[in-house]
Each structure stands twice: as structure tokens, then as C-alpha cells.
């Protein structure tokens, strides 16, 4: 059955968004009789897909399904994302993510909860294990339609997504979420407040509470919230449920399996990357991630060049790396 112009355009926009997520590709669209044509170019190679809206409904026609780019285009149109050129070339594409095939249960870990009504919140953080750089915590509220769309774009745990994709996915999440909140603590800010906590877990708890309050206050229709669990005991659930009695708050290990938590993890990672870029410019060198020896050596070079007193501007000083300098 032929789609309405509005529905056809909506599907085309979703396809275009997925095509734009193919690493290193540029996408051009032009109208053709009874449909629209996309030309995708990467590293001098081209692939074309023409999508028609006829009596039998939606029908894509591909110029190429054999080359790495052609396979990536086919996968993007059908709802499967090739996350990197290497994966595309090995045909190891990500699992099928066609929006129409996803139900509530596959999108949210909370779908079996009595309070779940198809709108829910998720939160996650980035930077807690990085010696250099900020702590960033984010929360989003999604409905089933938005979550299905984001899943189709490849939204999943940020640790499984390349940073180049993080930067592309974050704006899509920002536009799609019913509410969103991102809070960042630069090393200066983090080092100023950490002593009053004496431990990372209560600081993280307050950070998750803050972003969750932001989004829940914007969406009274949201009655479920999920936090990626980072400790067995904290006061997140009781604090949020006291502030929002109509909301059931849960904490789960591997919470990023939930699309809302995964989306929050990508927003948090995007915020982390942005501040790391700023700090790298100030340091005059690209700063490494993580808490290993490479980060320790980078901090040592900063200390030798600019003086030890400036390190609190770049690093979290309660880390063992700092004591090793």
C-alpha cells in the first residue's frame, strides 16, 4: 500500500540519518519520479539507492550490494548499521535493528514493570575511571517511538561505539529525547568537591540524582527511571522516589542494554570528549583516556612543562596516578 507523503518523508529522513552514520561517507539526496534517490560517496567510491513509493508501498533499489560500501548502504537502509569501515569490509555488521521489529521489551529493561507506560528515563556517566579529564553525567527521557528510532541508528552502550560515531549520534539523541540533561565537572570542579565526599560513589549518586531530577521534572508522564548501577548501596532510589512519588526508580547492572541508559551514556561520552579536546588544546598535546601508565606519563609531561601546581586543572588528584608522579 502506498504511504502518505508525510509517512514516506519520515521514513526517508530515518534512512538518511542512518546513511550519514556510515563512517567517512557523504550523502546527497535528490527527488526522482515516485520517490527519492540517495548517492553515497566514500573514499572515491559511490553507491546509489533509489527508494520508490508506489502502489505496493516502500521499495528500495540498490546500485550495488557487493562492495563494502554497497553492503553498508544496504544495511543502513534495511536498519542495520555498519559501525566502522573495517567491520563493513569484513561484513561483520551490527545486528538487525529495523525499527518496526522492536517491541517495548527489547527497548527497555523496565518493560515488565507495572508502572511502565512506554515513557521512561535513563542515566549514565562518563569519565569516572579516567585520570585525566572531567566527570560527565547525563539523563534522558524516551518514549517507545523515539527509543526505536535511536536503536535503529545504532544507539547502544557508548563503550561499544567509536568516538567518531558518538559525535554523530549525540545530536540525534538530543533531538529525539523528550527531555535531556547533561552535567559536567571539569577536573578543577571535581577536585574542589571530592574532599567533601571522600569517596566517588556518593559523589556519583548526587550527580545521577541531579540529572534525573532535571528530566523527570520536565516529563510528568514518565513513571519509570533506570540508572546504570555502579554500587550496591546508595541513596538514589529513595531520594528520587521521595521527590517524585509517582516514579518508580530502578538500578541495574549493565543498564546500557536499555536504550534510554545507552542514549544517556552516549550524551555523557560526547560531553567528556568535548572537554577532553579543550584540555588537550590547553596542554598542547592530545591527552590520553583511561587510568593507565599512558595517562600518568602525560600528566608527568604537563607537570614538567607547566609545573605541578597546574595538574589539578587536568587530572583527578585523588587517583593513585597522581601520587605516583
For the segment 98-149, what is each residue's pLDDT rounded down to a tens digit? 333 334 447 899 988 888 889 999 999 999 999 999 999 999 999 988 998 8
> What confidence category does residue 276 fall into, taking pLDDT thresholds of 50, 70 and 90?
very high
CA angle 79, 157, 161 (to 5 degrees): 70
Of 173, 130, 129, 123, the closest CA to residue 276 belongs to 130
Lowest mean pLDDT among 89-98, 99-108, 189-198, 311-320: 89-98
* Torsion angle defined by CA atoms of residues 50, 51, 52 and 53, in that order, rounded to the nearest 10 degrees: -160
Q: Check pLDDT > 50 for residue 210.
A: yes
Q: What is the DSSP string of 1-49?
A: -PPPHHHHHHHHHHHHHHHTTSTT-EEEEEEETTEEEEEEEETTEEEEE
> What confidence category does residue 66 fall into, taking pLDDT thresholds of 50, 70 and 90?
confident
Q: Check pLDDT > 60 for residue 92.
A: no
Q: Check pLDDT > 60 for residue 278.
A: yes
Q: Check pLDDT > 70 for residue 67.
A: yes
For residue 20, CA distances in Å to 5, 32, 79, 178, 268 come to 22, 20, 13, 23, 22
Collapsing DSSP to helix, strand or coil, 187 comes out as helix
Tell how far CA 51 is from the center of its chain.
Answer: 29
Q: What is the C-alpha to C-alpha distance for residues 194 and 12, in angstroms, rounded to an integer?
A: 48
Tell how far CA 69 is from the center of its chain.
Answer: 24
Task: Decide which of 315 and 16 is more confident.
Answer: 315
pLDDT at 244: 97
Count of helices and strands (H, E) across the chain: 12, 9
pLDDT at 58: 79
Q: Check pLDDT > 50 for residue 84.
A: no
pLDDT at 15: 86
Q: Are 315 and 132 in contact (CB under 8 A)?
A: yes
Q: What is the C-alpha to C-alpha distance for residues 7 and 14, in angstroms, rounded to an integer?
A: 11
pLDDT at 79: 61
Give the model confidence (pLDDT) of 216-268 as tens digits.
999 999 999 999 999 988 999 999 999 999 999 999 988 999 999 999 999 99
Integer-rounded Cα radius of gyration of the chain: 22
Q: Check pLDDT > 50 for residue 85.
A: no
Give whichever of 16-25, 54-63, 235-244, 300-309 has the largest mean pLDDT: 235-244
Q: What is the C-alpha to C-alpha distance for residues 294 and 239, in angstroms, rounded to an integer?
A: 39
Q: What is the DSSP string of 66-129?
A: SSHHHHHHHHHHHT----SHHHHHTT-PPPP--GGG--HHHH-TTTTSTT--SEEEEEEEE-TT
Q: Check pLDDT > 70 for residue 163.
A: yes
| Residue in the block written with cell 541513596 | 235
Give whichever of 18-22, 59-63, 273-277, 303-307 has the largest mean pLDDT: 273-277
pLDDT at 261: 96
Collapsing DSSP to helix, strand or coil, 269 comes out as helix
| DSSP state at residue 246 | T
pLDDT at 81: 41
Arithmetic mean of pLDDT over the chain: 87
pTM above 0.75, yes or no: no
Which residues have C-beta within 8 Å of that of residue 318, sequence separation ≥ 6? 191, 194
Amino acid at each position: 500500500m502506498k504511504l502518505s507523503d508525510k509517512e514516506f518523508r519520515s521514513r526517508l529522513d530515518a534512512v538518511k540519518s542512518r546513511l550519514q552514520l556510515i563512517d567517512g561517507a557523504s550523502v546527497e539526496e535528490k527527488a526522482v519520479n515516485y520517490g527519492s534517490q540517495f548517492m553515497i560517496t566514500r573514499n572515491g567510491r559511490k553507491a546509489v539507492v533509489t527508494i520508490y513509493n508506489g502502489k505496493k508501498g516502500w521499495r528500495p533499489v540498490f546500485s550495488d550490494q557487493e562492495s563494502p560500501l554497497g553492503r553498508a548502504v544496504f544495511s543502513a537502509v534495511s536498519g542495520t548499521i555498519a559501525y566502522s569501515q573495517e567491520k563493513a569490509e569484513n561484513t561483520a555488521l551490527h545486528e538487525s535493528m529495523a525499527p518496526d521489529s522492536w517491541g517495548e521489551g527489547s527497548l527497555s529493561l523496565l518493560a515488565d514493570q507495572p508502572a511502565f507506560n512506554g515513557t521512561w528515563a535513563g542515566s549514565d556517566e562518563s569519565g569516572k575511571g579516567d585520570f585525566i579529564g572531567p566527570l560527565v553525567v547525563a539523563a534522558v527521557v524516551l518514549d517507545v517511538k523515539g527509543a526505536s528510532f535511536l536503536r535503529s541508528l545504532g544507539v547502544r552502550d557508548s563503550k561499544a561505539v567509536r568516538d567518531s560515531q558518538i559525535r554523530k549520534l549525540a545530536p540525534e539523541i538530543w533531538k529525539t529525547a523528550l527531555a535531556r540533561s547533561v552535567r559536567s565537572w571539569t577536573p578543577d570542579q571535581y577536585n574542589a568537591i571530592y574532599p567533601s565526599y571522600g569517596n566517588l560513589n556518593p559523589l556519583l549518586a548526587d550527580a545521577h540524582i541531579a540529572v534525573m531530577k532535571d528530566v523527570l521534572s520536565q516529563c510528568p508522564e514518565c513513571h519509570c527511571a533506570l540508572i546504570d548501577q555502579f554500587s550496591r548501596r546508595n541513596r538514589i532510589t529513595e531520594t528520587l522516589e521521595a521527590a517524585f512519588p509517582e516514579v518508580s526508580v530502578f538500578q541495574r547492572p549493565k543498564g546500557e542494554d536499555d536504550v534510554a541508559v545507552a542514549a544517556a551514556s552516549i550524551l555523557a561520552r560526547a560531553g567528556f570528549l568535548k572537554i577532553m579536546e579543550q584540555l588537550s588544546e590547553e596542554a598542547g598535546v592530545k591527552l590520553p583516556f583511561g587510568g593507565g601508565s599512558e595517562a600518568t606519563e602525560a600528566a608527568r609531561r604537563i607537570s614538567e612543562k607547566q609545573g605541578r601546581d597546574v595538574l589539578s586543572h587536568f587530572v583527578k588528584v585523588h587517583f593513585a596516578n597522581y601520587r605516583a608522579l
